[in-house]
Structure 1
Amino acid sequence: MKKLAVMIALASVLAGCDNASAPLSFTPEMASFSNEFDFDPLRGPVKDFTQTLFNEKGEVSKRVTGTLSAEGCFDKLELHDLDANTGVALVLDANFYLDAETQQQKIKLQGKCQLAELPSAGVTWDTDDKGFIVSAHGKEMEVNYRYDADGYPLGKTTKAGGQQLSVAATPSKDKRKKLDYSAVSLLNEKQLGTVQQRCEYDGYDNPVSCDLSIKDESVKPAVERKFTIKNSIDYY
């Protein structure tokens, strides 16, 4: 009996250690911004990061750069889609994100640093009681966002003009490898394509490099494209 009691006590200690070393959850700001602006979320005390998407030729397709405060607010966010030749740089200024080039107020914020309104498009965002963006509303559109218990973005459903586009992600069951995921996109319940991603991780369980495969099933025969994602992350 004494030996059994020792084993039970030891198991309890080990269980406590496992809980103490559990991976960090995703903050509402990081999860919401990544869900809205389409980049891989990061966890932990991130100071700044650059996420670069390379095509099969090794050419840069997209790049996202972010600078965060110690509290986890995005002080600056740059989004560049080189394939589409579009981009924007947003800078935090009080309760707004400004266009870094024109100084025009682009996005209104709620609280310290969560999305509230995109005035130019007439879009407003709603949060849940934990601070996560759960929906967006415009004159002719509605978006619903989903997260798991760790705050990982599971995708979103957009309704506009009688159409419904849904993206649903399924992350790895290993909580330390959330960015190893598969995803399915549907247009009016018809499958458009699938995504598979596998990554190498750092000590904060953030992806350092990833292999991404996207299959476009909207064309016949289906077309599969492969990408590589490289992350450069600095921490506080």
Structure 2
Amino acid sequence: MKKLVVLMALGTALAGCDNASEPLAFTPEMASFSNEFDFDPLRGPVKAFTQTLVNDKGEVSKRVAGSLSAEGCFDTLEMHDLDASTSVSLVLDANYYRDAETLQQKIKLQGKCQLAELPAAGIVWETDDNGFVVAAHGKEMEVKYRYDSEGYPLGKTTVAAGQHLAVTATPSKDKRKKLDYTAMSSLNDKPVGSVKQTCDYDRHNNPLSCEMVIKDERATPAVTRKYTIENSIDYY
């Protein structure tokens, strides 16, 4: 009995140490890609993932899927917006992402796997000293991206055609629940919408499933839509 009590105490102590450990930060690639391509960032040794956005009718609205190398580079990335009937599938080839079907070079990379240039649109991305994409420039547009101290994307500001669109995210103060957030969108300093999300998490502090409420203030009266996000994540 004494041995059992000691083992239980040891297990509790170890669990306490594990809970006290800091969660992993978001890598520059994961944070930058999620900020640019509008999906939830993940942390830790992610090998592959799928994020599926489902509306309140049970219909799939959007799906994002990716696979990553052990170093954290995106080997593939698929983005399907079923509501808009658009689809993009990218595959890494040296310092370019190619269209998976046509093999056309789509995105030029800097370093091993960070965004550098979208040649067809004349867009160039800039990174900071830590490797995070912090700006994008085109002929008639400019984007600035923001992150917190852990690399979590805090939104972006886009200026194009005389319009100023800002998205600002505020994550939970609990570092293990960064994907519990609220986000506000404004156009020319006028509020146009908001998002509130809450999630269940796995042991890597990544979301397993989430509930999302989107409020569109451009409509009169404002329109509220509810979604669920179903995540599938494989780790190394």
TM-score, with structure 1 as normaliser: 0.92
Structure 2 residue matching 1:101: 3-state secondary structure: coil
Residue 159 of structure 1 aligns to which amino acid in structure 2?
V
Whether 1:74 and 2:74 are equivalent positions in the alignment is: yes
Q: What's the offset of the Cα at 1:20?
A: 6.8
Question: Displacement of 1:18 after TM fit?
Answer: 7.3
Q: Residues 180-216 of structure 1: CA distance to partner in whole angstroms, max 9, x if unpaired?
A: 0000000000000110000000000000000000000
Q: Residue 169 of structure 1 aligns with which residue?
A: 169
- Asked if residue 131 in structure 1 is aligned to residue 135 in structure 2, the reply is no
Q: Once superposed, which parts of structure 1, at least 4 consecutive aligned residues long, lie more than 2 Å away?
A: 17-20
Equivalent position of 1:7 in the other structure: none
Q: Does 1:118 align with 2:127?
A: no
Counterpart of 1:104 in structure 2 is: 104
What residue number does 2:6 align with? Answer: none
**Which deviations, in whole Å up to 9, do the C-alpha atoms of 1:10-63 show, x marking residues without a partner?**
xxxx9xx57971100000000000000000000000000000000000110000
* Equivalent in the alignment of 1:181: 181
1:195-234, aligned counterparts within 5 Å?
A: 195-234=195-234
User: Residue type matched to 1:190 in 2?
Assistant: K
Gapped runs of 5+ residues in structure 1?
1-13
User: What code does the residue aligned with 1:43 have?
Assistant: R
1:173 match: secondary structure: coil
* Counterpart AA for 2:123: V
Q: Deviations over 1:137-178 (max 9, x none)?
A: 000000000000000000000000110000000000000000
* Inter-partner Cα distance in structure 2 for 1:35 and 1:19: 28
3-state DSSP of counterpart to 2:44: coil
Q: How many correspondences in the alignment?
A: 223
Please show how residues 30-109 of structure 1 align to structure 2 within 5 Å.
Answer: 30-109=30-109
**Aligned-partner SS, 1:151:** coil
- Paired amino acid for 1:69: S
TM-score by length of 2: 0.92
Q: How does 1:138-157 map to 2 (within 5 A)?
A: 138-157=138-157
Question: Is the counterpart of residue 26 in structure 1 residue 26 in structure 2?
Answer: yes
The secondary structure found in structure 2 opposite 1:33 is helix
Read off the aligned partner of 1:181 and give its amino acid letter: Y
**Secondary structure of residue in 1 paired with 2:78:** strand
Q: Which secondary structure does the structure 2 equivalent of 1:176 belong to?
A: helix
What's the secondary structure of 1:58's corresponding residue? coil
Aligned partner letter, 2:86: T
3-state SS of 2:120 partner: helix
1:138 aligned partner, one-letter code: G
Using the alignment, how far apart are the partners of 1:85 and 1:18 within structure 2? 44
